[in-house]
Amino acid sequence: MNKKLLIIGFVWPEPQSSAAGCRMMQLIEIFKSENYDVTFATACTKSDNAFDLEAIDIKTETIVLNDSSFDTFVKELNPNVVLFDRFMIEEQFGWRVAEQCPKALRVLDTEDLHCLRRGRHQALKDNAVFDVSYLYNETAKREIASIYRCDLTLIISEVEMEILKQQFFINDDLLCYLPFLIDAISLKSQKELPDYKNREHFVTVGNFLHQPNVDGLLHLKQNIWPLIRKKLPKAEIHIYGAYVTEKAKQLNNEKEGFIIKGFVDDINSLMQNYRICLVPLRYGAGLKGKILDAMLNGVPCVTTSIGAEGMYGDLEPNGFVEDVPKSFADRAVELYTSKIYWAGKQKLGVKIINIRFDKQLYIKDFLFKVETTQNALETHRRNNFIGSMLMHHTLQSTKFMSRWIEEKNKK
């Protein structure tokens, strides 16, 4: 009999709109490869960009917040594994899963550490250097509690693994490092990538609903692009991403070569037209899908230390990492105008993908960890007393608040 996986989504997966959407599809693919029957449930409204899950034999379910109809649904489904898409979803539904399906393995996919992103944003607003004191915010209290309540938490970045272990003292047994999972780039694919002379202009990519992307775009427009344009007066920067806002459209200026292009169906074939990818993020967390897309399509990058975090490990980057606007702009110009430099950085991108993100390096270990944790679930939970304690108190507080909201909604 096939095992069952229930994914409770924050939103419907949109792999063409965000790295989070790609990540979700990668997780679905792993479980499908192990013959799990997968059900995807969410309380979110489906958008036009949502992936057609039913086309790949994934059952879908619309669920309601603060409603006991979920209890009936999950009890009847009786999944072996429940995957929560971000800690906010675990807060809403984790206690219900624990009550109705106590033997189900509860897995949290953080996407990225929200407390880290929030702390960095606050440091930026304070015009201060980020330090660990910024980590201990209100989001951290919620997110770390969620990690403890789950049996296993998927962490996308090695840097975030270390933060959880060193700063929050979370046991390694509760964590699983699982970065983006990509097919290795073959020699044939490398040779088919367009070369330096067949590419022009700069590109940047990012969902416009994601605030670090919006901040990075403003930073690019105000502090970096004018310096690049001064040295390369004919160069253009093309900005792609889903959900372009009116505020973002106002940044469009063809005279300055700063062009907002918006949503695109196929980012891969499009990126292969460009010479350099710029990723000027000033805050954020997790791994940057836009840098991964650039490496896959042979586009060297200039990014910041935030953009580079967790991407390169001990390997040389596929471009340059600069936080000072003038240095960032100088490196971008240098890379844009040097064919030899550019070709070397393109090859480094391929090397990074094949050494750090080849899915074959991670899938077996991940599935083994899921299986061994399931097989010794009682012992695993006994060893995680903090998690049991937090679940007890969650059942006392969240449960009754949710029940109260449900009764209020009935009236």
Residue 400 has a pLDDT of 67
Residues 24 and 13: their CA atoms lie apart, in Å, by 6
Which positions ≥6 away from 187 have C-beta within 8 Å? none
Inter-residue contact 18 to 48 (CB < 8 Å)? no
Angle at 89 between CA 84 and CA 90, to 5 degrees: 65
Q: What is residue 205's three-state secondary structure?
A: strand
CA torsion sign for 281, 283, 284, 286 is: positive
| DSSP letter (8 states) at residue 35 | T
Residue 2 has a pLDDT of 83
What are the CA-CA distances from residue 104 to residues 5, 65, 107, 324, 395 (Å)? 9, 20, 9, 49, 17
Q: What is residue 278's three-state secondary structure?
A: strand
DSSP H or E segment with residue 372:
helix 363-375
List, for the chain, all residue ranges whose pLDDT scores fall below the cut of 70: 397-400, 403-404, 411
Which amino acid is present at 202?
A: F
Which positions ≥6 away from 31 have C-beta within 8 Å? 5, 38, 81
Residue 47 has a pLDDT of 84
Residue 399 has a pLDDT of 67
DSSP H or E segment with residue 41:
strand 37-42
Residue 393 has a pLDDT of 82
- Helices 19-33 and 363-375 meet at what angle, rounded to 10? 70
Helix H segments across 34-137?
69-77, 87-100, 114-125
Residues 295 and 350: their CA atoms lie apart, in Å, by 6
Residue 317 has a pLDDT of 97
Q: What is the pLDDT of residues 379-388, one digit of tens each?
A: 999 999 999 9
Residue 31 has a pLDDT of 96
Report pTM.
0.93
Residues 308 and 211: their CA atoms lie apart, in Å, by 18
Residue 239 has a pLDDT of 96
